[in-house]
Amino acid sequence: MSDAALDVVEFVLTTSVYSDDRTLDENDLPPSYRRVFWTGGSDDGDDEDGRTRGGITRPLSATNSTAREATGVDRPWEAVSGLMFTDRDEFSGTITLTEQGMAEQWYLERVDEERLLENPTLAKHFDEADGYDVDVSHEDARERNRPIQADRVWIDGLLEEYFDEEEDEEMLDLVDVRAPEEVDVTLDDLVLTEGQEAEIDKIAKAIEHRDYLAEIGLREIGKLLFVGPPGTGKTSTAQALAQDMDLPFVEVKLSMITSQYLGETAKNVDKTFEVAKRLSPCILFIDEFDFVAKTRRSDEHAALKRAVNTLLKSIDNISLIQDDVLLIGATNHPDQLDAAAWRRFDEIVNFPKPDYDMRADILRVITRQMRIDEFDPELVAEATEGMTGSDLRMVLREAVLEALTEDRTALTQEDLLNAVEEFEERDNLKNMDMIDGDHDALVAGGDVGSSGDDHGHDHDHDH
Ligand SMILES: Nc1ncnc2c1ncn2[C@@H]1O[C@H](COP(=O)(O)OP(=O)(O)OP(=O)(O)O)[C@@H](O)[C@H]1O
Ligand SMILES: [Mg+2]
């Protein structure tokens, strides 16, 4: 029997149990099912305070299209039509269970505890129903299931609720909210230093034991500052944390504050923190943190200063322990931060440029899906002293594109080394003084990045 049948039976069974058991709520449905049945967040269903809120309405109906969307099975009915306990209403297209008991037996014979733990609705059902010897608890399954707050539909509903007036349109430039499912970086994709790993472990433990920390009155925790040059993985690490811990990722782009209609900025900063609190548990990521210090020092517009002060006050008033919001700031210019900014973070995480070993590891990670003949990451690492993870990615991209021009999808070690040289030349160009710089290099046919010969890709890389 195929997995498709099992997936569809689970879905139909879940819709049936959920429809009957009114004590179950959204958080008892696996995220992929929730998405299918979520309605509203727009015009329908205003509640007392006039806010619009989405929700899931009973009964849930299992049709070909809902089943397909929830399980990814192409032809749901065909997958289960051969089973003795399934039926389909010709008119509505609803897939039903003629013998639910039989379906339950059939399902239980094929799943293990791990799988059952991913479906709180069924975990509860089998835990409570007589006659089944199932060793999973409803509580455990719920604990493990991603909360509805992390779903895109829920986030959209919330954002609409907060920022629905026209003047708030710009607000969405200032804050960007991503559901964990939309973050595509994982911790596996990143090569971290021991120090970074230790910090991440520490914060994961703190999140896990927030109740205990609150109990003993330890509140000054959960504000991290990521410090390091561009391209060293600060943003990626913050995102990967969100993905790893299944938390929504709320990003504030500080430079956007200036491009805003200034009168509204302070208010919008306030709202952003409100949203973060409502989305909690979540990660609030504030990039370009040096901007804060810069604004306070300089001769800025009073409204801008007010906005930044609001931001600092909001940071003081948000807490991992009380609000379940993990705050991560990032900066390329730690030297520009004043004492007032530093003081607000309890852990500083250093993002240095990667050393030789890290570069080799990063190269291994980013080439995982590529075919490279005679690949020697150590050798490439040696040739890329001073480059960041982001630079290495660019080198790889260059090598891939270069090979494609020769219709090759398999790379060679030599492609990589050529791309490294190419990258360095680009880097030289970037740093060159275009006015008083090296005249030869500024004239076409000079030796920077030239390919003045007719040999196609055989660039002359001599320096
Ligand atoms: N240590 C690393 N391991 C794997 N990939 C890395 C590492 N550092 C950077 N990268 C890759 O480089 C790219 C850029 O990284 P990211 O945007 O996180 O850098 P950043 O430190 O936030 O830079 P900026 O200061 O410019 O915002 C990403 O694709 C990331 O995956
Ligand atoms: Mg970044």
Predicted confidence (pLDDT) per residue in 387-425, tens digit: 999 999 999 999 999 999 999 999 999 999 999 999 998
pLDDT of 176 strictly over 90: no
Same domain, 305 and 208: yes
Question: Is the same domain home to 297 and 405?
Answer: no
Task: Give the CATH number of the domain where residue 201 resides.
Answer: 3.40.50.300
336 lies in the same domain as 364 = no
| Residue 159 pLDDT exceeds 90 | no
Q: Is 235 in the pocket of ligand 1 (CB under 6 A)?
A: yes
Ligand 1 within 6 A of CB of 187: no
Q: What is the pLDDT of residue 442?
A: 53
pLDDT band, residue 165 (cuts 50/70/90): low
pLDDT at 169: 59
Nearest atom, ligand 1, residue 358 CA: 1
Let me know whether 333 and 379 are in one domain. Answer: no
In a domain, 452, yes or no: no
Pair 172, 129 in one domain: no
Residues 113, 183 share a domain: no
**Is pLDDT larger for residue 229 or for residue 221?**
229
203-217, 285-299, 381-395: which is most confident = 381-395
Which has the minimum average pLDDT: 35-44, 94-103, 336-345, 454-463? 454-463
Cα separation, 380 vs 328, in Å, equals 33
Nearest CA to ligand 1 atom 28: 390
Q: Do 406 and 278 lie in a common domain?
A: no
Claim to verify: residue 248 and residue 395 sit in the same structural domain:
no
Structural domain includes residue 455: no
Among 86, 111, 145, residue at a domain's last position: 145
Which one of 234, 236, 355 would you pick to mutate in the ligand 1 pocket, going by the greatest count of ligand atoms within 8 A of its CB? 236
Please name the residue whose Cα sits nearest to atom 4 of ligand 1.
Answer: 190
State which of 2-11, 141-150, 265-274, 454-463 shows the largest mean pLDDT: 2-11
The answer, yes or no, to whether any atom of ligand 1 lies below 6 A from the CB of 393, is yes
For residues 55 and 166, membership in a common domain is answered with: no
**How many domains is the chain partitioned into structurally?**
3
Which residue, chain included where needed, has tokens 């929504």? 248
| Residue 234 near ligand 1, beta carbon < 6 Å | yes
Q: Is 331 in the pocket of ligand 1 (CB under 6 A)?
A: no
70-80 pLDDT per residue, tens: 999 999 999 99
Is ligand 1 within 6 A of the CB of residue 389?
A: yes
Mutate-to-test residue for ligand 1 from 224, 232, 254, 353, highest number of ligand atoms within 8 A of CB:
232
In a domain, 458, yes or no: no
Residue 190 CB–ligand 1 contact under 6 Å: yes
| Protein residue with its CA nearest to atom 13 in ligand 1 | 390
Is there a domain that residue 303 lies in?
A: yes
CB of 125 within 6 A of ligand 1: the answer is: no
Q: Is residue 84 part of a domain?
A: yes
* pLDDT above 90 (res 39): no
Q: Could you tell me if 224 and 371 lie in one domain? A: no
Given the CA of residue 365, which atom of ligand 1 is nearest to it? 4
In a domain, 453, yes or no: no
Q: Is 448 inside any structural domain?
A: no
Ligand 1 pocket member 359 (CB < 6 A)? no
Which residue from 176, 390, 396 has its CB within 8 A of the most atoms of ligand 1, so it is best to mutate? Answer: 390
Last residue of a domain, one of 145, 176, 199: 145
Whether 296 shows a pLDDT value over 80: the answer reads: no
- pLDDT on residue 11: 98
- CA 52-57-59 angle, to 5 degrees, is 170
Q: Is the pLDDT assigned to residue 385 strictly greater than 80?
A: yes
Please check whether residues 287 and 177 belong to one and the same domain.
yes
- The 10s digit of each residue's pLDDT in 239-256 is 999 998 889 999 987 776
Mean pLDDT of 328-334: 93
- Could you count the other beta carbons within 10 Å of the beta carbon of residue 399? 26
Quick check: is 235 in a domain? yes
Residue ending a domain, among 117, 145, 173, is 145
Q: pLDDT at residue 201 above 70?
A: yes
Domain that holds residue 176: 150-350
Is the pLDDT at 449 greater than 60? The verdict is: no
| Cα–Cα dist 90/308, whole Å | 62
Ligand 1 atom closest to 189 (CA): 4
450 lines ligand 1 (CB under 6 A): no
State the helix-helix crossing angle for 413-431 and 389-404, rounded to 10 degrees: 120
Which atom in ligand 1 lies closest to the alpha carbon of residue 287?
Answer: 27
Q: Would the CB of 353 count as within 6 Å of ligand 1?
A: no
Is the CB of residue 329 below 6 angstroms from any atom belonging to ligand 1? no
| Residues 290 and 334 placed together within one structural domain of the fold | yes
Give me the percent of the chain exceeding a pLDDT of 70: 84
CATH number, residue 374: 1.10.8.60
